[in-house]
Structures are given as C-alpha cells and as structure tokens.
C-alpha cells in the first residue's frame, strides 16, 4: 500500500503542476489580450483626436489662406459697380448712325421745318394754345441740348473712324512691305537667271557655229590641197 501511495503521489503532483501551468498560461494569455485591446483602444482614441485636430487646423488654415492669399489661376471676381453697364461697341455703332444722320441734308431740312412751325405757332396761334412765347426760351433750350449731345456723338464717331483708318493704314503698310520684299526677291532671281543664261548656249549661237562649220567644210571640199597644207 505504501508503495502504491508513493507511486500515486508523484503522478498527482505532476498533474497538479500541469494544471497550474495551464491555468497560468491561460491567465497570461487573457492578460495579454486585455493589454492588447487597451492598447488598441488608446491608439484609436489618439488617431481620432489627431484627425479632429488636423481637420480643425485645415479648416482654419484654408479660411486664413483664402482670406490672405489670392488665387492666380482663377479669374478675379467682378466688382459691383455703381454706374450701369453698357456695351461700348453697340453704343459706338449707335453714335455713328446718329452722326451720319446729323450730317445729312434731310436732318437740316427737318430741323428747319420744325423751327419754322414752332415759331409761327407760338406767334400766330391763340394765346391759350401757345406753349413757348417770345423770346422762345424752350426752343433755345432744346436746340442747345441737341447741340450738347450732338457734339460728343460726332467726336465719338470720328474717333472710331480714326481707329479704323489707323488699322487700315497699318495693314496697307504691312502689305506694301510684303510686296516690296516679293519684288526684290523676284528681281534677284531674274538677275541670277540672266547671269546663268549668259553661259548657256543659245539657239542663235548654235546656229552661227553650225554655219561656220558648214562654210569650213565647203571650203575644204573646194580646196582640199590648201586645207591639207593648212592642217600641216
């Protein structure tokens, strides 16, 4: 019995030690898992806080940059103007039409008729129907107003015509320069061709040479002895 108990006791101790080791291992694993989860939670919290701080800094920085700096790659926003906007080209065309009409005989005839009717009406019409009696102040005011508007309109039309004339003159000058350059180039080419043709055998020269050869051959046929002596 004693021997059996002595044999069983070391086996029990060994099993107890194994169980304790397993419990320790399980406890350490659980502890390590808890520590890892806590570290993950702390890392997530720190990342979230950093992201929030970066977003705040980016929003404040972008607003400050947008306020302080001006984007050069974007067109500048138009400013609000107190004066009404208009199309200068359309206004210029209208002023030219008015200036052309003011410079015609029809305008002078109509203006003369209007003035005559105005004066006669305010002289011979009943006093109740007269609207501008002598010295015709309203007529003078209307004519002065018409003259004050006609003068700048005519000047504007003249300025536009001067601009067009200036552009046409510039184009004519460039065209003349190109034509002069072309003529100079053609004259140089013609001179070079003449110099080259001076060394080329022409039809008249070849004809004269053939005629000389024919004469020489005829002379040799008529006087063969003289030709032989001359060759010697």
Dihedral angle sign, alpha carbons of residues 188, 194, 197, 203:
positive
Q: Are 197 and 190 in contact (CB under 8 A)?
A: no
Asked if residue 217 is part of any domain, the answer here is yes
How many other C-beta atoms lie within 10 A of the C-beta of residue 95? 20
Residues 6+ apart with CB under 8 A from 102: 150, 153, 154
Residues 6+ apart with CB under 8 A from 154: 99, 102, 103
**Separation between Cα atoms, residue 52 and residue 81, nearest integer Å:** 42
Asked if residue 119 is part of any domain, the answer here is yes
Q: Are 103 and 109 in contact (CB under 8 A)?
A: no
pLDDT digits (tens, 9 = 90+) for 176-217: 999 999 999 999 988 888 777 766 667 777 888 888 888 888
Are both 194 and 215 inside the same structural domain? no
Are both 192 and 217 inside the same structural domain? no
Range of the domain at 43: 8-58
Asked if residue 12 is part of any domain, the answer here is yes
Per the structure, the count of domains in the chain is 3
Are both 51 and 121 inside the same structural domain? no
Are both 98 and 192 inside the same structural domain? yes
pLDDT digits (tens, 9 = 90+) for 109-129: 999 999 999 999 988 888 888
What's the whole-model pTM score?
0.42
Query: Which pLDDT band, with edges at 50, 70 and 90, does 160 fall under?
Result: confident
pLDDT digits (tens, 9 = 90+) for 216-228: 888 877 766 555 5
Asked if residue 80 is part of any domain, the answer here is no
Indicate if the pLDDT at residue 2 is higher than 50: no
pLDDT digits (tens, 9 = 90+) for 3-23: 444 555 555 666 666 656 665
Q: List the structure tokens of 157.
A: 């039309």
Q: List the structure tokens of 139.
A: 């007529």
pLDDT digits (tens, 9 = 90+) for 35-54: 778 878 888 888 888 887 77
Q: Rounded mean pLDDT of 70-86? A: 75
């Amino acid at each position: 019995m004693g021997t059996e108990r002595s044999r069983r006791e070391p086996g029990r101790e060994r099993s107890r030690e194994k169980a304790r080791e397993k419990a320790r291992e399980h406890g350490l694993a659980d502890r390590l898992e808890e520590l890892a989860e806590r570290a993950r939670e702390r890392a997530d919290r720190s990342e979230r806080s950093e992201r929030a701080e970066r977003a705040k800094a980016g929003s404040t920085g972008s607003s400050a940059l947008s306020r302080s700096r001006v984007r050069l790659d974007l067109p500048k926003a138009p400013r609000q103007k107190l004066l009404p906007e208009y199309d200068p080209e359309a206004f210029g065309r209208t002023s030219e039409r008015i200036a052309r009409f003011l410079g015609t005989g029809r305008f002078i005839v109509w203006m003369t008729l209007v003035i005559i009717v105005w004066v006669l009406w305010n002289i011979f019409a009943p006093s109740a129907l007269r609207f501008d009696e002598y010295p015709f102040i309203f007529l003078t005011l209307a004519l002065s107003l018409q003259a004050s508007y006609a003068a700048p309109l005519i000047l504007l039309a003249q300025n536009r015509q001067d601009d067009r004339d200036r552009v046409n003159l510039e184009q004519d000058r460039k065209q003349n320069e190109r034509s002069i350059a072309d003529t100079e180039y053609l004259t140089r080419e013609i001179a070079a061709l003449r110099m080259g043709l001076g060394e080329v055998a022409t039809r008249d020269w070849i004809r004269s040479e053939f005629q000389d050869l024919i004469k020489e051959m005829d002379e040799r046929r008529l006087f063969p002895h003289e030709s032989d002596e001359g060759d010697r």
